[in-house]
Amino acid sequence: MNRSDVLITADELLARLSDDGSTPRLLDVRWTLQKPDGRDDFAARHIPGAIYVDMDTELAARSDHDPTKGRHPLPSAEAFQEQVRTWGIDQLTEVVVYDDNSSLGAARAWWLLQWAGMKARVLDGGLNAFVAAGGELTAGAGDPVQPSTVTITPDSMPVLDADAASAWTGVLLDARAGERFRGETEPLDSRAGHIPGARSAPAAENTADGKFVDEETLRTRFSDLGALDQPVGVYCGSGVTACHNALALASLGVETSLYPASWSGWSSDPARPVATGS
């Protein structure tokens, strides 16, 4: 993979939307920790033809009251296949995912589609970049979509469980903010700190003004973290923003393994050790 395999610019998307041929399937993943349901934001303004995708119900499974599975467990293969079908996506569909929050939510949809053996790209800069490039938005609930009958290929991206994360011999990157990694604060999960041996790699540092920083800057960042010359595992609070690091590294041609339960799952297990500090 390279940058153009995983990211699409607003100018390129506008050109694709103006083609006479088939237009991309657009998935709108408006999501933040403070406001996980972005349905009303989508209804107020979105790219024409887009479908709203809900993080908690479409890009995650319920944890069945098992906190060690984390706050955003991966959906089952069967459930996600049905979800992909409702989006009208098949193996030949060009898929573009976007949000309005530096691609932090869009990256999760991108990762899941990769995990399912599908291809997708993230709109670099999201909704704001689209508008800045001259794109027009629309309002409403979105148009109905003809479902597909696609069969996905699950497990096309590697994942880690807690035991594998504990025994990981490569570099393990934590995408949360530095103060959460160091254990100075923990607003969401049961214990503060990080997985012993992990390195702090806040996902927010992959972007500037909502867009991914240039390839040279990304390469330097991840080289300094030791992520270009050994196996890489990624995690965060609940397996969402870790996908942002996975996306950034994929743009450099680096494959990663996701620990989906992430800190929310790890910290819920009293048998798992916790490290603090930098």
pLDDT digits (tens, 9 = 90+) for 28-49: 999 998 999 999 999 999 999 9
Residue with tokens 């409403």: 140
Q: What is the pTM of this model?
A: 0.97
d(CA 68, CA 162): 9
**For residue 135, is it left (φ>0), alpha (ψ between -120 and 50) or beta?**
beta
Q: Look up residue 15 and give its two tokens.
A: 């050109």
Q: What is the pLDDT of residue 135?
A: 97
d(CA 1, CA 7): 11
Single-letter amino acid code for the residue at 104: L
Instruction: Give the residue-averaged pLDDT of 108-127.
Output: 98
Q: What is the pLDDT of residue 59?
A: 98
Contacts of 151 (CB under 8 A, 6+ apart): 81
Phi and psi, residue 228, nearest 5°: -105, -5
- What positions carry a catalytic annotation? 236
Q: What is the pLDDT of residue 216?
A: 98
Residue 189 pLDDT exceeds 80: yes
Instruction: Give the residue-averaged pLDDT of 63-84.
Output: 93
Residue 202 pLDDT exceeds 80: yes
Same-fold call for 3-132 versus 162-266:
yes
- Domain 3-132, what fold? Oxidized Rhodanese; domain 1 (3.40.250)
Q: Look up residue 75 and give its two tokens.
A: 């959906």
Q: Beta 211-212 vs 207-208: how paired, if at all?
A: antiparallel
d(CA 74, CA 61): 6
Residue 63 pLDDT exceeds 70: no
Q: Look up residue 138 and give its two tokens.
A: 């629309």
Instruction: Give the residue-averaged pLDDT of 223-230.
Output: 97
Q: What is the pLDDT of residue 62?
A: 79
What is the share, in percent, of the chain residues with pLDDT greater than 70? Answer: 99
Q: What is the pLDDT of residue 163?
A: 98
What is the share, in percent, of the chain residues with pLDDT greater than 90? Answer: 94
Domain definitions of the chain by residue range: 3-132, 162-266
Of 3.40.50.2300, 3.40.50.20, 3.40.250.10, 3.30.70.1350, the CATH number of 162-266 is 3.40.250.10
Residue 199 pLDDT exceeds 70: yes
d(CA 45, CA 33): 20
Mean pLDDT of the chain: 96
Instruction: Give the residue-averaged pLDDT of 150-163.
Output: 98
Instruction: Give the residue-averaged pLDDT of 111-120.
Output: 97
Kindly report which listed range (22-26, 63-67, 169-173, 187-191) carries the lowest average pLDDT score. Answer: 63-67
Instruction: Give the residue-averaged pLDDT of 97-110.
Output: 98
At residue 153 the predicted structure's pLDDT band, cuts being 50, 70 and 90, is very high
pLDDT tens profile 249-268: 999 999 999 999 999 999 99
Q: What is the pLDDT of residue 81?
A: 98
Instruction: Give the residue-averaged pLDDT of 129-143.
Output: 96
Residue 173 pLDDT exceeds 80: yes
> In whole angstroms, how far apart are CA 37 and each of 43, 55, 204?
12, 8, 21
Q: Beta 95-98 vs 51-52: how paired, if at all?
A: unpaired
Eight-class DSSP state of 193: S
Single-letter amino acid code for the residue at 210: G
Q: What is the pLDDT of residue 65?
A: 79
